[in-house]
Structure 1
Amino acid sequence: MTMYAYKARNTEGKIVKGKIESPNEREAVLELEQLSLIVFQLNTLNTALYKDIYIGKPVKSKDFVLFLRQFSTLIESGILLLDALEILSNQLDNKYLKDALETIALQVREGIALSDAMSKYPAIFPELLINMIKSGEASGRLDDVLKNMANYYEKQHRLKQKVSTALTYPAVVGTMAILITVFLLVFIVPIFADMFTSFGEELPAYTQMVLNLSQVVQQFWWMILIAVFLLYYLFKELRKREQTSFLIDGVLLRIPVVGMFIQKSILARMTQTLSSLLNSSVPILQAVDITTNVMNNRVVKKVLQESKQSLERGESLAAPMKNHWMFPDLITQMINVGESSGALDEMLHKVAEVYDQELEEASDKLQSLIEPILIVFLAAIVGAIVLSIIIPMFSLFETF
């Protein structure tokens, strides 16, 4: 595939510029003609230089939520879909989202469905959003679907922010502890090691152990880095395997205090997703299937798969959840009430609000609990190294 830069004129006579990837020039011109573009300039580009490269997600969660909210507002205001796409593509700052919307607008102009055009950008538009838009196109309720999805992703963004806020502090303090330890072992301890050697006195076993550790870090730091990268790679590979990933996710949920916080965040996301899907008139089996794909935790995925099988047998959605340690009685009882009353989406919405509130409280408690523990941990590490230096100095002072 070769990358081409083109200049063309659309049906309105406006000049359009852009890039297209195609096997050859002829195919590139044909593809552009299918979009009702008359090409008058086509230049070959270096594919490696002009290929879009990004680390992580090309569109940040905050930008994506803002885009959906604006898109929903424009459609709800009665603005035509094509006009809304063009307005957004001109206003957005994110390059990847802007370029994607420009191409999507061209495809929609040619009669391609919005969901089909968006599906060509899986790194930007989640599968859940594409399925929901497809459902909205089929039912003629695209405005309602976009509004529900804007609300959903806004809640998901707030949920991620709460989790990120709770975990950022321990991550920063832990990183600082490692950096301070390495600094002391590499730069400070060797200075005193040379001084102790010059006195020729026998050092305490504890001090000698710290000096040996300092020498290991100085001489084999590259091996330590390689070992860290190998462990990280091994962990990523294990996460790809169903059995080991299921085991890791189960262990994370059982960690004291932290496990409870993770559990609440997962349940909040699960109930929010199910509620939004059912509120958008998505069939319950499809809603459970989509929610299963959205969830990252294998333990919850397995239970949701069992819940889908339960529904297919004509049983309750909550049946597999009742005897599972992951799901509290609140969820199973509210689901039973929702199924009995025919208002399952409302019950799930209420449960989502409860866990959203509990998650906020758990976030505050987790930070207040972890903060003193990390401070003590950091002080203990630094104190242990300083103590290893002070102990032999007292012995040396006594000899003089």
Structure 2
Amino acid sequence: MATKRLWRWRGLSLQGIPCQGTLWQDNRPEALQALQRQRIIPLTLRRCSVQSALWHPRYSGEIIRQLAALLQAGLPLAEGLELLAQQQPNAQWQALLQTLAEDLAQGISLSGSLEKWPEAFPPLYLAMIRTGELTGKLELCCAQLARQQREQLLLTEKVKKALRYPLIILSLALLVVMGMLCFVLPEFAAIYQTFNTPLPWLTRAVISIGEGLTRCWPLLAALGILPAILNRLICQRPGWLLYRQKLLHTLPVFGKLLCGQRLSQIFTVLALTQSAGISFLQGLQSVEETLSCPLWRQRLQQVCRQITHGDP
């Protein structure tokens, strides 16, 4: 999807009827060829900006929910995608759904087509759609996936609301402390010096900290940017990424929270695959595809090998 571009076109049909729409293509010549295959005479063709916010799971989850409803109503998959594309208000989603329908017409599976759009469809979508294709229960897998995504979004919103107020209070407290150290305490120190009164050692230490922050703020700003640079470098090296994951899991509180989050994701996907009728070993392999953490992928691979060898 990194090379795909969104194009908005206006043209005429063979009957001379004005029409317009959007499509995804790598470049302008391929976009013109796609319009010719649709028997459309292009009049204008220009690139459109892609809104990354529209790739939020809220939109993809809603599309999967609508697709599950259409499949349960007995509508064929290709017709369901075309119907969703016609009813979609967002241009880039409308073009994407139309592309999925065209891929199906060319014999490409839905999971194979979704794999081309990782920004819009995370690995969990691919695993569940592939499970539905293997078991012949695509509508059931889509419905379960939509329900899981809706519950996940609700939980995420609750967590954000719970953390919003403490983060605001913490930020305000930090600003007040920084203002006291950098502006208020130096004034008090100047007043005490006019009286030739010695300051307590604790007050002198706090004033020294404030003076250090005032003098060294460029260095502190650079140190604040350094973790982001290191994180990007670590993500480019699998060995360092694995070591970082192991280090994070050894932290006292954060490690347990991270472990609980991963286990919740693993058992959620495993429950979805089991309810869809897929075997336990294939379910573990589907879970592995949804994990981006190399440490947990490594652990699941070890579990799969042990089960294959007959270990309980």
Q: Which bracket does the TM-score occupy, shorter chain normalised?
A: 0.7 to 0.9
Question: Is the aligned partner of 1:52 residue 2:56?
Answer: no
**Structure 2 residue aligned with 1:150:** 146
Alignment partner of 1:315 is 2:311:
yes
Q: Compared with structure 1, are the counterparts of its residues 302 and 119 closer, same or farther at alpha carbon in structure 2 (3 Å cutoff)?
A: closer
Structure 2 counterpart of 1:28: 31
Select 2:22's aligned residue among 2, 18, 24. Answer: 18
Q: Tell me the residue number matched to 2:220.
A: 224
Uncovered stretches (5+) of structure 1, i.e. residues with no partner: 317-400
Q: Distance in 2 between matches of 1:218 and 1:231?
A: 22
Q: Distance in 2 between matches of 1:109 and 1:5?
A: 23
Q: Is the 8 A contact 1:152 1:273 kept in 2?
A: no
For residue 15 of structure 1, what is the amino acid of its counterpart?
C
- The one of 280, 285, 292 aligned to 2:288: 292
Give the alignment's TM-score, normalised by structure 1: 0.64
- Cα separation, partners in 2 of 1:162 and 1:273, compared to 1, 3 Å: farther
Q: Distance in 1 between matches of 2:18 and 2:72?
A: 28
Q: 1:125 aligns with which of 121, 144, 166?
A: 121
Distance 2:82 2:286 in 1: 30
- Post-superposition Cα deviations, 1:306-361, rounded to whole Å, max 9, x if no partner, equal 11111232333xxxxxxxxxxxxxxxxxxxxxxxxxxxxxxxxxxxxxxxxxxxxx
Please say if 1:38 is aligned against 2:35: no
Q: Map Cα deviations across residues 59-95 of structure 1 (whole Å, 9 max, x no partner).
A: 3233333332222122212234344334434555555
Counterpart secondary structure, 1:18? strand
Unmatched runs of 5 consecutive residues or more in structure 2? none
Aligned equivalents of 1:242, 1:184: Cα separation in 2: 44
Q: Residue 272 in 1 paired to residue 268 in 2? A: yes
Cα gap change, 1:62/1:236 in structure 2, threshold over 3 Å: closer, same or farther? Answer: same
- Identify if the C-alpha distance between structure 1 residues 170 and 290 changes in structure 2 by more than 3 Å, giving closer, same or farther: farther
List per-residue Cα deviations over 1:192-214 (Å, max 9, x = no partner). Answer: 24433443433333222222222
Deviation of the 1:230 alpha carbon: 0.8
The normalised TM-score by structure 2 is 0.79
- Alpha-carbon offset, residue 239 of structure 1: 5.2
Secondary structure of residue in 1 paired with 2:187: helix
Residue 114 of structure 1 pairs with residue 117 of structure 2? no
Matches of 1:95 and 1:220, distance apart in 2 = 49
Deviates more, 1:58-67 or 1:86-95: 86-95
1:41 Cα deviation (Å)?
1.6
Q: CA deviation at 1:109?
A: 5.5
Instruction: Go from structure 1 to structure 2 and tell me whether the alpha carbon gap of 1:269 and 1:128 turns closer, same or farther (over 3 Å shift).
Output: closer
Aligned residues: 308
In the other structure, the counterpart of 1:208 is 204
Which secondary structure state, in structure 2, belongs to the residue aligned with residue 120 of structure 1?
coil
Seen in structure 2, the aligned counterparts of structure 1 residues 88 and 11 have a Cα distance that, compared at 3 Å, is: farther
CA deviations over 1:136-170 (Å, ceiling 9, x no partner):
34554321221222233234334544655565555
1:100 is matched with which residue: 81, 90, 96? 96
Pick closer, same or farther for the CA change 1:282–1:10 going to 2, 3 Å. Answer: farther
1:238–1:244 contact (8 Å) kept in structure 2? yes
Q: 1:173, CA displacement in angstroms?
A: 4.2
**Post-superposition offset of 1:117:** 3.2
Cα RMSD over matched residues?
3.5
